[in-house]
Amino acid sequence: MEQLAPISIFLFVLFLLLGTGVWVGLALLGVAFVGMSLFTSRPPGDAMITTIWSASSSWTLIALPMFIWMGEILYRTRLSEDMFRGLSPWMARLPGGLVHTNIVGCTVFAAVSGSSAATLTTVGKMSIPELRRRNYPENLIIGTLAGAATLGLMIPPSLTLIVYGVTINESITKLFLAGVLPGLVLALLFMGYVAVMSKLSRNFNPDPEPVMSFSEKVRNSRFLMPVVALILLVIGSMYTGYATATEAAAFGVIGALVLAASQGSLSWSSFTESLMGATRTSAMIALILAGAAFLSLSMGFTGLPRALADLIASLDLSKFELLMALLVFYIILGCFLDGISSVVLTMAVVEPMIRQAGIDLIWFGIFIVVAVEMAQITPPIGFNLFVLQGMTEHEMGYIAKAALPMFLIMVVMVFILILVPELATWLPDNMRARPG
């Protein structure tokens, strides 16, 4: 009961600041400052300066702006058009037809961009008009795009996994390895749903695609070669142990610049736009991380995380019950905060719980990413829904309804992860990788 006062004050100040429109990073710093002032004897200003410097000077964190910059460069290339031309001949004969290009295209682009929004925008700007022109059902186009774009959070390089790894001081490369198989399984679940709906839905009656010979399909596949080469460069260098996540990010930026130059889309204007876009996004995330680090220190001084962990332990929840409680918690939190903010805001409290419950931290990173993926398509703050609304001009309710089956598939994915934890742990345990 003695912890009720700190909890109440922390929550009151946090929601007061967030409710008045203060940036998430500044709100976290404000809450931590109040907590340090009220509940500890340490000077809050001195602690804040030291903590922010420590949180911002991480070598591992350098991977974050580099991967963001890589995605910004690729966003300004003809990558989406080339991917559609390369994928569509192979997808046309599958049950569900070219809707699969949404899922496979997002899966491919997710492997060179850590951002869900960048994945959605890049793939959607080409696939939406093409699928509409071929008379595919609008709700299936929008739903699959909303769901598959969240793969940008799981399939490496994932910005959320980088932030999670930095927050709990875990290997980024191991987390990247852990995200590969679950990401591919989730993509296959999405494709399975499309195949089933193509047989059951009366509205599924797209225009037939012209028949192409095998040699013509192979010729069209040449458009996929640049992005495949970039994936092999970035992901392969990490998985074979030749590069850390930070070094692989640098390779990715160089590769993206070469790809943009070879396509003729690299100009001084696009270069500076990509650099400034990456700077803005990186600065926002860095501010959130700094605020979260100071909040973690402040809460640690009050003993709040350990008290809450002890409280959870006293409830005698099984691992499954604890995971279900955390899943519901993150889904609700995701209705109001973006994924990265949700992760950094809660780790100070959640990490002791999962350690005490004996849950593998690498596995939990993938679990939390799936929960955050759900938040991307959950109103009222589901970011992918806002992006799709701007691209399609549909009402938010229509887009959320179209994305609902994808949300349910992600719930199924959570249970698959719980039943088969090796999906997330096998690669990190069995592949050589350099730390960081």
Summarize pLDDT for 259-274 with one digit per residue, the tens: 888 888 888 888 998 8
Cis peptide before 156 (omega within 30 of 0): no
**Would you state the pLDDT for residue 313?**
63
In a domain, 83, yes or no: yes
**Would you state the pLDDT for residue 17?**
74
d(CA 91, CA 253): 30
In a domain, 48, yes or no: yes
| 186 neighbors 409 (Cβ within 8 angstroms) | yes
pLDDT higher than threshold 60 for residue 117: yes
d(CA 262, CA 134): 31
Q: Which of 126-130, 132-136, 249-253, 361-365 has the highest mean pLDDT?
A: 361-365
Phi, psi of 434 (to 5 degrees): -80, 140
d(CA 296, CA 304): 10
SS3 57: coil
Q: How many domains are contained in the chain?
A: 1
d(CA 83, CA 57): 37
pTM (whole model) above 0.95: no
pLDDT higher than threshold 70 for residue 304: no
| 32 neighbors 48 (Cβ within 8 angstroms) | yes
**Would you state the pLDDT for residue 333?**
74
Kindly state the percentage of the chain with pLDDT values over 90. 12
384 alpha-carbon distance from chain centroid: 11
Per-residue pLDDT averaged across 164-181, rounded? 87
| 379 neighbors 396 (Cβ within 8 angstroms) | yes
d(CA 155, CA 159): 10
**Would you state the pLDDT for residue 336?**
63
| Cβ count within 10 A of residue 404 | 16
In a domain, 435, yes or no: no
In a domain, 156, yes or no: yes
Q: Which of 69-73, 109-113, 256-260, 352-356 has the highest mean pLDDT?
A: 256-260
Residue 339: closest CA among 365, 317, 358, 312: 365
Per-residue DSSP letter, 223: G
In a domain, 324, yes or no: yes
In a domain, 182, yes or no: yes
d(CA 154, CA 158): 6
Per-residue pLDDT averaged across 112-138, rounded? 81
Say which residue, 255 or 348, is predicted with more confidence. Answer: 255
Per-residue pLDDT averaged across 399-418, rounded? 92
CA distances from 102 to 106, 143, 268 (A): 6, 10, 31
pLDDT higher than threshold 60 for residue 434: no
| 32 neighbors 302 (Cβ within 8 angstroms) | no
- The DSSP code sequence of 342-380 is HHHHHHHHHHHHHHHTT--HHHHHHHHHHHHHHHHTSTT
Kindly state the percentage of the chain with pLDDT values over 70. 88
Identity at 263, one-letter amino acid code: Q
**Would you state the pLDDT for residue 1?**
47
Say which residue, 48 or 296, is predicted with more confidence. Answer: 48
Burial status of residue 223 (CB atoms within 10 A of its CB: 0-12, 13-18, 19 or more): middle
In a domain, 13, yes or no: yes
Per-residue pLDDT averaged across 103-115, rounded? 80
State the residue for tokens 């509940």: 39
In a domain, 436, yes or no: no
Say which residue, 122 or 105, is predicted with more confidence. Answer: 105
Domain that holds residue 426: 4-430
CA distances from 413 to 65, 143, 327, 367 (A): 29, 17, 12, 9
pLDDT higher than threshold 60 for residue 18: yes
Say which residue, 209 or 412, is predicted with more confidence. Answer: 412
| Cβ count within 10 A of residue 363 | 20
For all residues of the chain together, what is the average pLDDT? 81
